[in-house]
A = this chain, B = another copy of it.
Amino acid sequence: MAAKRSGRSKRGINERLQPLQEPRSEPPLSRERIVATAVELLDAQGVDGLTMRRLADRLGSGVMSLYWHVDNKEDVFDLALDSVLEYRGPPQIAQDWRGEVVHVLEDWRASMLRHPWSATLLPRRALGPNILGRLELLSKTLSRAGVADADVNAAIWSLWNYVMGATITRASFDLSDDDRAAAQQRLTRLSERYPTIERSRLLLDNDWDGAFKNGLGFLLDGLSPK
């Protein structure tokens, strides 16, 4: 959207002089830089770590400069969230519909786990273009597989619910291995109140990926057109 620049560029001069005087001179602010830095900050410090002031600090600008490029803090969250949910498309090898659905959902889950704050944020924010694209793809795949039109929406929401629950839970538990061990210890102390889950070591169960695949399989069995 920037105005067209003159073809004759004076880049040579800037490249020689500026970097010498301020070697880490920041590129100008932009929506893209703000969003990318917000993601960095969220990855490093979590949801509560994102602060307009800290964000501006990292960008080497004044706090209020951000508000030229961005509406408010909520806007930053929405943009950071969607930027993390980009879909790179299915692998080249052809697959049956079931393999395709599994791939879409596992890729979605993997994207969120790379940025654990995104899973807890997603249900609370407006749906951005990238997540809508994933839903569109899912819907098309299910239709093509022969799921009746009347059942597609219910199927999508069931899958959505399962993926979101699994990912939010895993992301939260992962953030706090110590807490989990402490919880299981507390459980052991109270073992007369919770004997069954104490004995089965429920809180230490670690096979997240297996459990995810397992339950997803059950859902797809049920959703399959007969």
Q: Which residues of A pack against B, CB within 8 Å?
A: 120, 123-124, 126-127, 129, 132-133, 135-136, 139-140, 143, 149, 152-154, 156-158, 160-166, 168-169, 172, 179, 183, 187, 190, 193-197, 200-203, 205, 207-208, 210-212, 214-215, 217-219, 221-223
Contact = CB atoms under 8 A, between A and B. Distances in A.
Given A211-B154, A211-B157, A139 B169 contact: no
Contact of A202 (B156, B172, B218): B156
Contact of A205 (B129, B153, B164): B153
Contacts of A200: 139, 149, 152-153
Interface majority SS (helix, strand, loop, mixed), chain A: helix
B218 A132 contact: no
Copies of this subunit: 2
Contacts of A195: 136
B215 A161 contact: yes
Nearest to A198: B136
A139 B222 contact: no
A120 B124 CA distance: 9
Looking at A126, A161, A163, A211, the one whose CB has the most chain B CB atoms below 10 A away is A161
Q: Closest 3 CB pairs between A and B?
A: A218-B222, A165-B165, A158-B215
Contacts of A127: 183, 203
A129 B187 CA distance: 9
